[in-house]
Every structure is written in structure tokens, then in C-alpha cells.
Chain A
Amino acid sequence: MNKQESIIKLDEHLETPTLFGFGRGRLITIVVMVLLLILPIAAWYMGNKFYLDFSARIVCLAIAAVSLNLILGFGGMVSFGHAAFVGIGAYAVGIPSYHGYESAWLHFPLAIGAAAMFALITGAIGLRTKGVYFIMITMAFAQMAYYFFLSLEEYGGDDGMTLWSRSDFGFLNISDGLTFFLLCYALLVLCVYLVFRIVHSRFGMVLRGCNSNEIRMKALGYNTYAYRLTAYVISGAMCGLAGALIANLQDYITADTMTWTRSGELMFMVILGGAGSVFGPVFGAGVFLLLEEILSAYTIYWHLPFGLLLILSVLFIKGGVNGLIRRGWRL
């Protein structure tokens, strides 16, 4: 084949990525996202407020899981300290509120900014290590943040602090459950779309390349450290946003949000849903919270079957829930 023909053939290779993917998985993903929006609203209209709050919790944790997935699933950086960003985001709402500053336009930028800053500092140090050491160092930083906030007596210490009123958006009243849910849902869609754009962009290709073969990336001329750190900061900032939402969801802020078990739960949501897929963490958060809710209704010893189910799913379902859907429900 000569050069001319190949260049013409190039058109076939200029593919535009699609948000929902292709085939059977595409339809199911769209249906799940629509149900996640419609069902709680329908339940609310019929007078059942529980499902609205429950869905808001799924959506908020999904945002945190989506942010973790950017570095864990696509970047191969196993962070065991993501709960710290959730906590920082939450306190960025709680502390100003305590002092009488209730504007959401202060809370949310502060949550995102503070989480990004924490990510920049801890990432700059942590990303000099690899593998198990990175897992340990992210966890250590998160525990440091946990004990820091635990020691702030002024802000409740280990009793936590109550948020007397939700962040004030001005034109939006998020004290109303439905409005708050819609805001969370819109932000989740935004975050998913952001991650989708990022992972297919030049930056995303580099990030995935670093995950696949870092030595090769260096030899090609990429300063892999800079790209990884940038991804880490983006992920931390997004998780800070999730934290600000969670504070408003619970109307209550405690340092327990930052313990390492919380980080583990986020990690589990990502892996259960399908690490390295755009919608995987959303499925993961949904299945995780649904299982928790259902099992705990049957027995107070629900942790045991819950843990077993999670272990089995990770062992036998390749690519998590997302992989299951894409393959047409085959294991």
C-alpha cells in the first residue's frame, strides 16, 4: 500500500469518543442514569422522602468515587486517602458556617480550593513513591488530616459539628430536598462529563500511558511526575466538591468522614463499579449503598454477607458492574 492510500484511510481512524460508549452498554447506562434521576423524584411526589435523601447520598458519594476513579482507574495511582478530601470539603462548609458565613459561593470554592491545595502538597511528596508505598503514604496523610480535625475543639472535636443551615446559593434554596437532589445530580453529570473529556484528551492519553508503561513514557519525553501530580490535584479538587455536598446532605460534619475505612469504601465503589470506565464509579456507589441498605434491613450482622459479596464480585466479575453491562451480563 502506498502512502497516499494510507493517508486517505486515516479518516476511519479519526474517531470521536462517545460519552455513553457503544452497543448494549450504551442503552443500559442511559437507562440507569435516567432512573437515578426519575425514581427518587417520583417517590417524593408520592410522599416518600426517604428515597430522595438516599439517592442524594448515592449521587454525592458517586462524585467522590468518580474523582477517585480518575487517578485510580485511569492513572493507576491507588490512593488510600481520598476520604481526606471529602472531609476537607465538608469542613470548608462547616467552619465558615460556624462563624456566620453561609454563602455557598464562599463554601464551594473554598472546599474545592482547599482540597486542591491539600492534594498539591501531599501529592508532590506522595508521588515520589510508587506502588505499596504510595498507598501507605496517601493513607498516612489522610490520617494526619483526620487527627488534625479531630483535635479542633472549637469545631466540635470528636463530637462533630452541626450545620444549622445549608449553604446559601441565593437564587437556589437547597434546604429543599428536591432542589438539593437536583443540584447534586447536575454536579454528578458535570463531573462525569469532565472526566470523560479529560481521559480522552491529550492529557488523558498521557495519564493512561503513565499507567500502562511509565518507563516508555519517560523515554518518549514526558515528565510523568508533572502529569500525575496534575491529575491528582484535579481528583482532589473534585472530591472536595463531593465533601461540600455531603456536609449539606448530612447537616452534620465529623472527622469520622476522613477515616481510612471511608477511603476504603470509596476505593471499593470504584473497583466494584469498574475502575477505568467513565460511569463505573456511579454504578459502584449505587450498588454499594443499595446492598448496604438492603442487607442491614435483614440483620444487624450485615457486614459479613456484605463483605463476602464484595469479595466475590471483585474476584469473579472482570471490570466490575460496568464490565458486566458491556459484556451483556456475562461474568
Chain B
Amino acid sequence: MSDVLLKVAGLKKSFGGVVATDDVALDVRLDEIHAIIGPNGAGKTTLITQLFGEQLPDAGNVYFKGTDITRLPIHKRAGIGLARSFQITSVFMDFSVLDNVALAAQAHHGDSFRFWKPASTEIELRTAAMQALVQVGLDDRAARIASQLSHGERRQLEIAMALATDPVFLLLDEPMAGMGAEESASMVKLLKGLKIGRAILLVEHDMNAVFELADRISVLVYGRVIATGTPDEIRTNAKVREAYLGEV
């Protein structure tokens, strides 16, 4: 298929005797949200760290647009269009909201070995940052210091920073973590609008959100993908019900 952006094949990783990633294969296509679900300890985080080069797999490969990127250094992945948000909010707490996003935009708007002109006067960066903030609905908080934001707002800022790098592939690591019902609902609305022109891999515990957002879902149990399919297929899949969703 030509519009597969990210493809994982035969990925394996074990720590001592524990197999954390067991022969995982999956792909994420353009204009889709592909969700990964699985119980705690299923190996979701280990899988993500291998996709972004924070850990190297024991075997298997990660392809982006058909190129093998398994061993590409972390900082080079952003340059080819991969971006991520973090499970634990990872923003620059002592920077203003706008500076946070501008610094993200700066990574992809020209060289950063410039020592003289104040970055806060570069219209190009400020505009790109402001657009990302508008997209996530955080533009009225632009001047705030990040540490003064509410938890939900910081999660939005996370997404804005990922968007500011203009990614084609976006990994969202539990964007709803720690959010109330209302905040979750607005986050779902936001994420829905992001998939056009991109491929999104969503790791999330909030099942309502996953089934509302995902085009396809992969279920990870003990490091193994036991099923991949549309939300309806997953809902009715006997193996999934047994292993994960549980019979009610």
C-alpha cells in the first residue's frame, strides 16, 4: 500500500528473561488514527521507545516512508517528520507558552546556530507557534508561564509543540492521561481534526476516546499484537474480549 507512512516488522525486545516486545508488526497509514491498547505492562511504552530510537530493538525494523529508520538517532527523526507528545507532561516549565511552541517551531525553521538576533522578534517563528496554539485552542494563554497552566492545558501545550514541528507522523502517548471528562471530550474533538494529511499513532487508556477516535486498533498483550482491526472488529473479537476487555 502506497500510503503506509510508518511500518514496523518483526520487532523484538527483551530485558533479561522478560519479553517486552514479541515479534510486533503494525503499520500506520496516511489520514488515519491507529490506536494501540493493552493492559498495564503489555509493552506499549517499550514499543514507543523503539519507534523513536530511545531504545534499540533486539531484532526487527522500523520503516518510515519505506526507509529503514531503526537506528536513526533521536534528534534526526524530528527532521524527517516524526513528532511525539509525552505521557508525562514534558514542556519547558519556566518558559512562556508561546516560547515553548516557538522553540519547537524553531527546530524546523532554519538554523539555530544564530547568536545575535533575539528569537522572540522572529515573526516567522512567532506566527508558526501562534498557529499551532490556535489549532489546540490555547492561543489566549500564549503569554502565560507554562508552570501556571492547568493540567489539561499543559496536555494541550504538549500537542501544540508536536504540531509546531509540522509532522507527518504523530505519536500521542496517552494524551488524555489525568484529564477530567470535560477536558477529555474537548481533547477528542481536537485530535479528530489532526489526522488529515498525517498518520497518528495513539496510545491511550481511555476506551471511550479510543473507540471514538481510532480508524484501526491494535491490541497488545504480553508484548504481542493479538489483533488488529476496526473498532467494531476489535469489539467483537473473542480473543480480545477474553484477554483484555473482559466479559461483563
Contact = CB atoms under 8 A, between A and B. Distances in A.
Interface of A: 1, 3, 6-7, 9-10, 12-17, 197-198, 200-206, 208-209, 212-213, 215-216, 218-224, 227, 230
Contacts of A12: 143
Contact of B121 (A14, A219, A223): A14
A201 B130 contact: no
A304 B76 CA distance: 52
A221 B75 contact: yes
Given A13-B130, A201-B116, A218 B75 contact: yes
A279 to B, nearest CB: 17
A14 B104 CA distance: 17
- Name the prevailing secondary structure of the A interface residues: helix
Closest 8 CB pairs of A and B: A221-B78, A221-B107, A200-B118, A212-B92, A202-B114, A220-B107, A218-B74, A202-B112
B127 A10 contact: yes
Nearest to B133: A6
Contacts of A197: 115-116, 118
B120 A14 contact: yes
A10 B130 CA distance: 7
Interface in B83-142: 83-84, 86, 90-95, 98-99, 102-104, 106-108, 111-123, 126-127, 130-131, 133-134, 139-140, 142
Contacts of A206: 103, 106, 112
Interface of B: 52, 73-79, 83-84, 86, 90-95, 98-99, 102-104, 106-108, 111-123, 126-127, 130-131, 133-134, 139-140, 142-143, 161, 165
Contacts of A212: 92-95
Nearest to B98: A13
A14 B130 CA distance: 11
B109 to A, nearest CB: 9
Given A14-B126, A203-B113, A221 B90 contact: no
A201 B114 CA distance: 7
Given A3-B131, A201-B116, 6 more contacts: A15-B120, A17-B118, A197-B115, A212-B93, A221-B79, A222-B75
Nearest to B146: A212
B20 to A, nearest CB: 20
B130 A6 contact: yes
A227 B115 CA distance: 11
Contact of A223 (B75, B102, B122): B75
A220 B90 CA distance: 11
Q: Determine which residue in A197, A221, A224 has the highest number of CB atoms from chain B within 10 A of its CB, and name it.
A: A221
Contacts of A221: 75-79, 107-108, 165
B91 to A, nearest CB: 7
A227 B107 CA distance: 12
Nearest to A215: B90
A119 to B, nearest CB: 16
Contacts of A198: 115
B92 A230 contact: no
Contacts of B127: 7, 10
A118 to B, nearest CB: 21
A37 to B, nearest CB: 26
A201 B119 contact: yes
A209 B75 CA distance: 14
11 contacts: A6-B134, A13-B130, A14-B121, A201-B116, A203-B113, A213-B91, A221-B75, A221-B76, A221-B165, A222-B112, A224-B75
Contacts of B76: 221
A220 B78 contact: yes
Nearest to A2: B134
B172 to A, nearest CB: 13
A54 B109 CA distance: 48
A220 B103 contact: yes
Contacts of B121: 14-16
Q: Determine which residue in A10, A12, A208, A219 has the highest number of CB atoms from chain B within 10 A of its CB, and name it.
A: A219
A73 to B, nearest CB: 12
Nearest to A212: B92
B143 A201 contact: no
B92 A203 contact: no
A220 to B, nearest CB: 5
Contacts of A1: 134, 139-140
A325 to B, nearest CB: 19
B107 A203 contact: no
A203 B84 contact: no
